[in-house]
Amino acid sequence: MEKTISIHLKIWRQRGPKAKGAFETYHLDHVSTDSSFLEMLDMLNEQLVGSGKEPVVFDHDCREGICGMCSLYINGHPHGPDEDITTCQLHMRKFKDGETITIEPWRSHGFPIIRDLMVDRTAFDKIIQAGGYVSINTGGIPDANAIPISKVKADEAMDAASCIGCGACVAACKNGSAMLFVSAKVSQLALLPQGQVEAARRAKSMVAKMDELGFGNCTNTGACEAECPKNISITNIARLNREFLAAKFQD
């Protein structure tokens, strides 16, 4: 049955990348515990706009945990307190009546703030552009079943490929490293015969791009894996390191 709660919100507001930001506090009543976290923010924004104010800006789109657009640091956790989900999948039943909820943007050198809770993650696209693909053109491809692939390998590749590019791993990391994200793509392709051909070169150019864009070094704290909404395993980083060494060796 439907239950409602009242909550206090402490939300980071910032006009632009260079502007000085600050927390603002808000109060919301009658929040259904069946509502999603973003529906709660919609309620807040309706309230703000209804009283002539500008809404809190945040990124979101699919609202079902797959596009990777939503972000938010909620009570000290990227994507909030629940496990294995994105912010858009978080529901208000995870919060108590009267609770104060603190909401911040991803804070990381690699992701400058655009406004309020919205950040710029184009650095991830640049890393993929540096080599996160198999270099083939459209057409003239052999039959899909020409090369059998073991189910175990295919499933492992699928697990790595589940990364939604949200950036929670970077936000969670005290070094601001993008290793989990990079290793997920490198692993997916290295595990498949189609991607194996370029595996070493790919690892090298993606890591170089990551460094160039100012992401930090990986010191194996494991924070990324713990906060990743898609359970991307830190073993992928080990695989990336192997591919990277192989590339060095070839040089």
Partner 1 sequence: MATTETKKIDAKIPQGALAEKWNNYKAHQKLVNPANKRRLDVIVVGTGLAGASAAASLGELGFNVLNFCIQDSPRRAHSIAAQGGINAAKNYQNDGDSVYRLFYDTIKGGDYRAREANVYRLAEVSNSIIDQCVAQGVPFAREYGGLLDNRSFGGAQVSRTFYAKGQTGQQLLLGAYSALSRQVNKGSVKLYTRYEMLDVVLIDGKARGIIARNLVTGKIERFAAHAVVVATGGYGNAFFLSTNAMGSNGSVAVQIYKKGAYFANPCFAQIHPTCIPVHGENQSKLTLMSESLRNDGRIWVPKKKEDAEAIRTGKLKPTQIAEDDRDYYLERRYPAFGNLVPRDVASRAAKERCDAGFGVGSTGLAVYLDFSDAIQRLGRSTVEARYGNLFQMYEKIVDDNPYETPMMIYPAIHYTMGGVWVDYELQTSIPGLYCLGEANFSDHGANRLGASALMQGLADGYFVLPYTIQNYLADEIRTPRFSTDLPEFTEAEKAVSDRIDRLMKIQGKQTVDSLHKKLGLIMWDFVGMGRNKAGLEKALTEIKKIKKEFWSDVFIPGQGDDLNTELEKALRVADFLEIGELMARDALVREESCGGHFREEHQTGEGEALRHDEDFSFVSCWQYAGEDKEPTLLKEELNYEFTKVQQRNYK
Site for partner 1 in 177-206 (CB under 8 A): 188-189, 192, 194-195
Stretch that binds ligand FES, among 57-65, 132-140, 154-162, 190-198 (CB under 6 A): 57-65
> Does 7 participate in binding ligand SF4 (rule CB under 6 A)?
no
> Does 165 participate in binding ligand SF4 (rule CB under 6 A)?
yes
**The entry of ligand SF4, ligand FES, partner 1, none that residue 150 binds, CB within 5 to 8 Å by partner kind:** partner 1
Cα(126)–Cα(121) distance, integer angstroms: 9
Stretch that binds ligand FES, among 17-25, 61-69, 200-208, 237-245 (CB under 6 A): 61-69
Residue 167 or 216 having the CB closest to ligand SF4:
167
Min dist CB 62 to partner 1, Å, is 5
> Does 230 participate in binding ligand SF4 (rule CB under 6 A)?
yes
> Does 124 participate in binding partner 1 (rule CB under 8 A)?
yes
Residue 85 or 221 having the CB closest to partner 1:
85
Structure tokens at 173: 């990391």
Q: Which residues of 107-144 are buried (b: 16+ CB within 10 A; e: fewer)?
A: ebebbbbbbbbbbebebbeebeebbbeeeeeeeeeeee
Half-sphere exposure of 12 (CA within 13 A, CB side): 25
**How many residues lie near ligand SF4 (CB under 6 A)?**
14
Q: What is the CB neighbour count within 10 angstroms for residue 235?
A: 13
Evaluate whether 30 touches 46 at the Cβ level (below 8 Å): no
> Does 63 participate in binding ligand FES (rule CB under 6 A)?
yes
> Does 163 participate in binding ligand FES (rule CB under 6 A)?
no
Cα(216)–Cα(203) distance, integer angstroms: 17
Q: List the alpha helices (DSSP H) in the chain.
A: 37-50, 122-129, 151-161, 168-172, 179-190, 193-196, 199-212, 223-227, 235-250
Residue 29 or 61 having the CB closest to ligand FES:
61
> Does 228 participate in binding ligand SF4 (rule CB under 6 A)?
yes
Which residues neighbour 82 within 8 Å (Cβ) at sequence distance 6 or greater? 89, 90, 91, 94
Residue 47 or 162 having the CB closest to ligand SF4:
162
Evaluate whether 112 touches 100 at the Cβ level (below 8 Å): no
> Does 166 participate in binding ligand SF4 (rule CB under 6 A)?
yes
* Residues at the site binding ligand FES, with contacts judged by CB under 6 A: 60-63, 65-70, 86-88
